[in-house]
Amino acid sequence: MTDFIIIGGGVAGTSAGAYLSSLGTVLLLEAEPNLAYHASGRSAALFEESYGKPSTVALNAASRDYHVENNILSPRGLMLVGTANDANAFDTEHTQMGLDAMSMAEAKAMVPILNTTHIDRAGYHADAWDLDTDLLIQSYVKTIRKNGGTITTKSPVTAITKTGAGWTVDTKTETHAAPILINAAGPWVDQIAAMAGITPIGFTPLRRSMGRIPAPGGHDVSTWPMIFGTNEAWYAKPDAGALIVSPAEEHLMDPHDAFADDMVLAEGMARYEECVTEPVTRLLASWAGLRTFAPDRTLVIGPDPTAANFIWCAGQGGYGMQSSPAAGQLLADLVNNSAPSIAAASVKALSPARFR
Ligand SMILES: Cc1cc2nc3c(=O)[nH]c(=O)nc-3n(C[C@H](O)[C@H](O)[C@H](O)COP(=O)(O)OP(=O)(O)OC[C@H]3O[C@@H](n4cnc5c(N)ncnc54)[C@H](O)[C@@H]3O)c2cc1C
């Protein structure tokens, strides 16, 4: 007997599964051969508590303990750089992120390749962390399995039918049944809703590309912070001895297996290059992922008002990794009718009811 069928084996589905597995028997269905094949395996892997709308920040804050207890985080730091031309935007972002003022000499001591003929301002805080995304997903998987749940890959859901007792869900080879269905299909969540006869919400999958380049000028980049251009024009982050650089684009796509756009990547690299003294000589690798947003760019967690046993776990946008422990906990609390640990205003802001 299955109590919960979860569709999607990214961070949304696995975190929901981990928390639900203490309430009943979980079956998680993932279309791809591996978990975290899409966005959840392609992120920048940062924990930055202040990133996102207020309800996302509430989830980030409530997630911190889980990340710390499971050794998911390691120190990184975050630096914002800017020029006189974008002074207003720089000031706004500096305040929003709660950064400390920093002289250009201090910034250059931290990141020696900063081009101080172009950049003339910087802000920094140490409270931004590398997030071990593999370990995070594995910690959820371990909990699901420990509690008797099942995870099935290579199982694309092809049909969903409402029954008197709940739902039946068809994959290519099997039919499963459960009273409660969790929609955690990332960019495909609206398609899953339509399959189940639930009105879609209007999610937008936005592509973000990423390139890995050799450590600039042969520097040891391991202690450098993550660096953001003002207006998120680009960002760069140390990654296993190299640097990942993103144009930070948000291009609307249909759900698919995303790949980097060469032109967008080149333009982003050019914006990064303006701010540093070392040219980009070659790309070691490139990839892209879809960051999926609700119309108000806030996560959607909870039962659909038109079908209390259809639970949305969607719209994780650019925050799905860092917010996942509290998002999974909230989802389980709502399913279990127990009092959520985050403030009522955030629970309301995250509810699918706001679209109905
Ligand atoms: C470049 C980039 C940088 C990012 N940086 C960060 C960061 O620094 N910090 C952070 O917290 N977040 C970051 N994010 C965001 C984060 O990666 C996402 O919010 C998160 O991965 C979304 O997880 P998900 O499980 O909802 O979606 P996905 O990982 O896309 O998983 C959805 C899954 O559902 C499956 N599925 C779909 N349809 C079906 C079906 N019919 N049957 C079965 N399975 C199905 C798919 O195969 C997929 O595996 C970044 C994202 C990108 C792309």
Task: Give the tens place of pLDDT for each residue, 237-282.
Answer: 999 999 999 999 999 999 999 999 999 999 999 999 999 999 999 9
pLDDT at residue number 12: 99
Decide whether any atom of ligand 1 lies within 6 Å of the 247 Cβ. no
Q: Single out the residue of 277, 211, 299 nearest to residue 248, CA to CA.
A: 211
Q: Give dist(CA 180, CA 166) in Å, integer.
A: 6
> Which residue owns the Cα nearest ligand 1 atom 26?
186
From the alpha carbon of 32, which atom of ligand 1 is closest?
Answer: 47
Rounded to the nearest angstrom, the distance between the alpha carbon of 131 and the centre of ligand 1 is: 15
Other beta carbons within 10 Å of 110? 16
pLDDT at residue number 301: 98
pLDDT at residue number 121: 98
Decide whether any atom of ligand 1 lies within 6 Å of the 169 Cβ. no
The SS3 assignment for 58 reads helix
Give the Cα-Cα-Cα angle 322, 328, 334 (nearest 5 degrees): 140
Q: Give dist(CA 13, CA 183) in Å, integer.
A: 8
pLDDT at residue number 160: 98
Q: How distant, in Å, are the alpha carbons of 48, 66, 68, 74, 94 from that of 99?
A: 12, 24, 22, 19, 5
Task: Give the tens place of pLDDT for each residue, 123-157.
Answer: 999 999 999 999 999 999 999 999 999 999 999 99
Residue 130 and residue 74 in contact, taking contact as beta carbons nearer than 8 Å: yes
* pTM, full prediction: 0.98
Task: Give the tens place of pLDDT for each residue, 312-329.
Answer: 999 999 999 999 999 999
Q: Give dist(CA 317, CA 306) in Å, integer.
A: 24
Beta bridge partners of 29: 7, 152
pLDDT at residue number 236: 98
Which stretches of the chain score pLDDT less than 50? none
Q: How distant, in Å, are the alpha carbons of 77, 80, 94, 107, 233 from that of 100?
A: 12, 10, 8, 12, 21
Q: Give dist(CA 95, CA 236) in Å, integer.
A: 21
From the alpha carbon of 320, which atom of ligand 1 is closest?
Answer: 19
Decide whether any atom of ligand 1 lies within 6 Å of the 316 Cβ. yes
pLDDT at residue number 45: 98
Strand 166-171 and strand 157-163: the pairing is antiparallel
